[in-house]
Amino acid sequence: MGEQAEEREPEKLTKHICVGLLAHVDAGKTTLAESILYLTGGIRRLGRVDHGDAFLDTYEMERARGITIFSKQAEVALGDKAVTLLDTPGHVDFSAEMERTLQVLDYAVLVISGSDGIQGHVETLWRLLGRYRIPVFLFVNKMDRDGTDRQQVMEELKKRLSAGCVDFGPESREREAFEEELAVCDDRLLERYLEGEPVNEEDIRRLIGERRVFPCFFGSALKLTGVEEFLEGLSRYMAPPQYPQEFAARVYKISRDRQGTRLTHMKIIGGSLRVKSLLANRRRDWDSGKEVREEKADQLRIYSGAGYRMVDQVTAGQVCAVTGLSHTYCGQGLGMEPEAGLPLLEPVLTYRLELPEGADVHGMFCRLRELEEEEPQLHIVWNEALGEIHVQVMGDIQTEVLKSLINERFHMAVEFGTGSIVYKETIGAAVEGIGHFEPLRHYAEVHLLMEPGEPGSGMQFESACSEDRLDRNWQRLVLTHLKERRHPGVLTGAPVTDMKITLVAGRSHPKHTEGGDFRQATYRAVRQGLKKARSILLEPVYTFCLRVPSDTLGRAMTDIQRMGGSFEAPVTEGQESILAGSVPAASLGDYGRQVAVYTKGRGQLSCSLKGYEPCHNAQEVIEASGYDSESDTANPTGSVFCAHGAGYVVPWNQVDEYAHVESGLRPDQTETAKDRGTDEGGSETGPQTVPAYPAPVKASSGLTLQETEELERIFERTYGPVRRYGAWDQRRREEQGTERRQEPGGDVPRSGNRQEKEARPREDYLLVDGYNIIFSWPELKELATASLDAARGRLMDILSNYQGYHGMTLILVFDAYRVEGGVGEIFSYHNIYVVYTKEAETADQYIEKTVHAIGHKHRVTVATSDAMEQVIILGQGANRMAAREFLEEVRLTEEEMRQEYTGREKGGKNLLIDHASDDMAKLLTQVRLGKRTFQERESDE
């Protein structure tokens, strides 16, 4: 079970602090951890890395290679503080293992080799510590070696890391300049110091916690020199964090023990956790786009080296491993803790995994996902086109470790092919991406504002869409789909990065939209935006520090320039010259070996990942990749629209014209291919062959008069004049000056008699969406609040009068799709047909079905204000009439009917008025003159 501390049980202490050990490889970090454990009573015997018996090197590979590969945990006691010590890998190939540990650290100890000074990876670690805002103690190791100079190292630390680096050795603290050196790091403290007030320990703790001061200690971990003073400094100047009472935890690692049990390593940062407690993957009031999963914490293990002890409860500040959780992942927040940000370090090399002959490729791919789960920056990719497994890693040594792990866990000997560079893509200017997905019975549209981000910022997602335009749940779903995958670029298919994507508009359908529709629309919006944008190919770049004999400096400078790199002015130190700069990872290759050859072993090259920058030979890489974004069927660039009851694909460069939603973005907020004077598609050139499609129709709820007229003009340009009842009849009557409708073939009566039907080859149909009209007309809407039956009856009476005057076949459709067990009903009401749909059938569906059946045989008009329904109707060859337009039409018809029933004689007299009572004659006169309606009269009564 591992060795225990003899002096004190750490779990009984209330002040818990988590401290991480970080270093460049071979700086002596694991040796320092051994010394700390030995001096605090954690182990009884000092182990050594070169002897293969270090307490925290628990894996055979680590002992064989003499390097730390996996982060380890140990428990020590410093005074009244219980300290969890986390030893992290120092080799650059395992930087991802180190970076995820930073998420749970309260303090960090950065170990630097006094003989080698600040190497390239140390500066990367320093940037990471700054990003995570972790207070840092520095221990300069190997000071027992010849040629080490304490003062020279301090000057280098101040110059290359921070001016806040202060020597905290016993001799330095006795100097008068020590307090002054601390005071100049903080303006408030400096004022007090100048007034004669000394710097106290509480001030020092505050400065360290705020990352204004970085205490530096010197010694030799192997010989235990300076380690006790270092521990005394840690105990004195570390301040335990204050934690909330409510439960919160951060998952930083997933592993498996020797029996294959899945372990979730986490730090409790609020409240406490007991055995058998239920843990949810998120708070219930957060992102409702995710399914809530609750699992029990079966065991709580406190590890120390390879051994562990089980406890019933862990409190805030402690680090533990939990069994029984199957859906956790690195960076996950539990309880009140939010998700962690994206890691800074990412793999830059990709290798093809070569399996033994006859091996199950798909089965191995699924098993390798276990390793990917344990190592987040190990990306296992399935290449569908080649049927191969590709592995993205940080470096060559990681591939050797992976081979051993796969052989040990899955009993299969694998090899890795030749490595290649992991490229990425970004955009050069803001652009709007539109995705539309509308096969029959599906609907979703998404508008995204895609903007270039700062280098190294990764992908950022947010929503600026009003909930009036798109419901909050749909917005969350869009953001979930944006985050759930790596979106491929359009130049080489490489993942996109350094981009901010904002949801600015969208639309769903109340009946036809499903969750998967927004996934398709979101993916297509990203792809369409990338096709419109000026895409930029990015490549990984290393910063390097090259030490060579001065007589080989010219060769070194020539090599760096040939590789497309850049460097600062060289610095000469004695007979050596130092060259620092940056160089593309693709060009660097095995240059370290070449340095050793041409310097006869006296040269030294150290590198660290700088980040991604524009590719120095982009066109060459793009051509070599052979990627065609239009042939990538798994990532389509176009959108799917619907017409005549079937979906059809619209190419990416026509989607803007077909979109149903206006995003509201100003033209100056985005850049198009036309604006920048280049071919559409950025770097992709050449003519675009695009099939012809029906002209797009824009739809929106509550269309304005201008939008309605524009919609008609667009449709008429494509399909000919839009013919409708009412206004069409009125205009024709006004032009002809007659009360009889003129049709091809002669002058026929209005009443819809047999002579008219025989003269007219196509019948007229009017389909009315009942409930849509009721809740669109103010009079009926008010009546429906009191009695929906009364509103239905009133509408049927109005439409009976309307049909009797115009003579078309009128079908009134009411929604009954929520009536349980409903079989539907069709009956005649006076001279119209009334339809109640069956269970699970909406009025929209019934109308669409009817229009599809008779729309090409007869003249069909549909009265509705459902914008989506209007678009479908026009696409199927019918006419549409908005609810307010239909209301005006009904009122005009009623006015004409009143004028006919109160018709005038030639002498200007009215027989009805002349023979009515005085009160009735007065009312009829007002009605005839249009000053009052019968409804107003009824309301008066």
For residue range 516-537, what is the model confidence (pLDDT) as tens digits?
899 999 999 999 999 999 999 9
Is the predicted pLDDT of residue 553 greater than 60, yes or no? yes
Mean pLDDT in residue range 60-85: 81
d(CA 179, CA 168): 11
Q: Residue 357's pLDDT band (boundaries 50, 70, 90)?
A: confident
Give the best-scoring range by mean pLDDT among 240-244, 326-330, 894-898: 240-244
Among candidates 22, 24, 155, which has minimal Cα distance to 606? 24
Is the predicted pLDDT of residue 431 greater than 90, yes or no? yes
Give the per-residue pLDDT at 380. Answer: 79
Is the predicted pLDDT of residue 72 greater than 70, yes or no? yes
Residue 746, number of CB atoms within 10 A of its CB: 10
Mean pLDDT in residue range 903-926: 55
Q: Residue 307's pLDDT band (boundaries 50, 70, 90)?
A: confident
- How many Cα atoms are found within 13 Å in the side-chain-facing hemisphere of 153? 25
Give the per-residue pLDDT at 926. Answer: 59
3-state secondary structure 673-733: HHHHCCCCCCCCCCCCCCCCCCCCCCCCCCCCHHHHHHHHHHHHHHHCCCCCCCHHHHHHH
Mean pLDDT in residue range 306-325: 91
Give the per-residue pLDDT at 672. Answer: 52
d(CA 22, CA 709): 69
Is the predicted pLDDT of residue 812 greater than 90, yes or no? yes
Give the per-residue pLDDT at 369. Answer: 79
Is the predicted pLDDT of residue 733 greater than 90, yes or no? no
Least-confidence region, from 60-64, 217-221, 564-568, 763-767: 60-64
Question: Which of 545 and 910 is assigned the larger pLDDT?
Answer: 545
Mean pLDDT in residue range 126-154: 90
Tokens found for residue 547: 């030490």
d(CA 377, CA 380): 9
Is the predicted pLDDT of residue 824 greater than 80, yes or no? no
Least-confidence region, from 649-653, 805-809, 899-903: 899-903
Give the best-scoring range by mean pLDDT among 402-406, 563-567, 734-738: 563-567
Question: What dihedral do alpha carbons 134, 138, 142, 145 form, nearest 10°?
Answer: 140
Give the per-residue pLDDT at 918. Answer: 63
Least-confidence region, from 20-29, 193-202, 248-257, 694-703: 694-703
Is the Cβ–Cβ distance between 103 and 340 less than 8 Å?
yes
Give the per-residue pLDDT at 415. Answer: 84
Is the predicted pLDDT of residue 305 greater than 70, yes or no? yes
Q: Residue 718's pLDDT band (boundaries 50, 70, 90)?
A: very low
Mean pLDDT in residue range 830-848: 83
Pairing mode, strands 499-508 and 444-452: antiparallel
Mean pLDDT in residue range 584-608: 82
d(CA 44, CA 2): 12
Cα→Cα distances 161→110, 129, 138, 396, Å: 11, 11, 11, 29
Least-confidence region, from 444-453, 495-504, 862-871: 862-871
Give the per-residue pLDDT at 716. Answer: 52
Is the predicted pLDDT of residue 694 greater than 80, yes or no? no
Q: Identify the helix (H) or strand (E) that includes residue 409.
A: helix 396-410
Helices (H), 434-577: 472-483, 515-532, 553-562
Is the predicted pLDDT of residue 225 greater than 70, yes or no? yes
Is the predicted pLDDT of residue 578 greater than 70, yes or no? yes
Q: Average pLDDT of the chain? A: 79
Q: Residue 687's pLDDT band (boundaries 50, 70, 90)?
A: very low
State the distance between the two ends of the chain, measured CA to CA, in whole angstroms.
94
Give the per-residue pLDDT at 719. Answer: 43
Least-confidence region, from 154-158, 264-268, 700-704, 780-784: 700-704
Give the per-residue pLDDT at 920. Answer: 60
Give the best-scoring range by mean pLDDT among 180-189, 264-273, 609-618: 264-273
Is the predicted pLDDT of residue 320 greater than 90, yes or no? yes
Cβ neighbours for 569, distance < 8 A, ≥ 6 positions apart: none
Give the per-residue pLDDT at 762. Answer: 67
Q: Residue 748's pLDDT band (boundaries 50, 70, 90)?
A: very low
Mean pLDDT in residue range 155-172: 87
Is the predicted pLDDT of residue 177 greater than 50, yes or no? yes
d(CA 320, CA 303): 7
Cα→Cα distances 913→180, 921, 930, Å: 109, 5, 15
Give the per-residue pLDDT at 905. Answer: 42
Q: What is the pLDDT of residues 386-411, one digit of tens each?
A: 677 878 777 777 777 788 888 888 88
Give the per-residue pLDDT at 683. Answer: 43
Q: Residue 99's pLDDT band (boundaries 50, 70, 90)?
A: confident
Is the predicted pLDDT of residue 27 greater than 60, yes or no? yes
Mean pLDDT in residue range 343-367: 78
Strand ordering across the sheet containing 107-113: 72-78, 81-87, 15-23, 107-113, 136-141, 214-218, 165-167
Among candidates 397, 362, 399, 401, which has minimal Cα distance to 382? 362
Q: What is the pLDDT of residues 847-857, one digit of tens each?
A: 888 887 787 77
Question: Which of 376 and 125 is assigned the larger pLDDT?
Answer: 125
Helices (H), 422-549: 472-483, 515-532
Give the per-residue pLDDT at 134. Answer: 93
Give the per-residue pLDDT at 711. Answer: 44
Q: What percent of the chain has pLDDT over 70?
A: 77
Is the predicted pLDDT of residue 281 greater than 90, yes or no? no
Is the Cβ–Cβ distance between 371 and 331 less than 8 Å?
no
Q: Residue 927's pLDDT band (boundaries 50, 70, 90)?
A: low
Mean pLDDT in residue range 728-740: 40
Give the per-residue pLDDT at 258. Answer: 83
How many Å separate Cα 177 from the centre of its chain? Answer: 51
The type of residue at 655 is V
Give the per-residue pLDDT at 547. Answer: 86
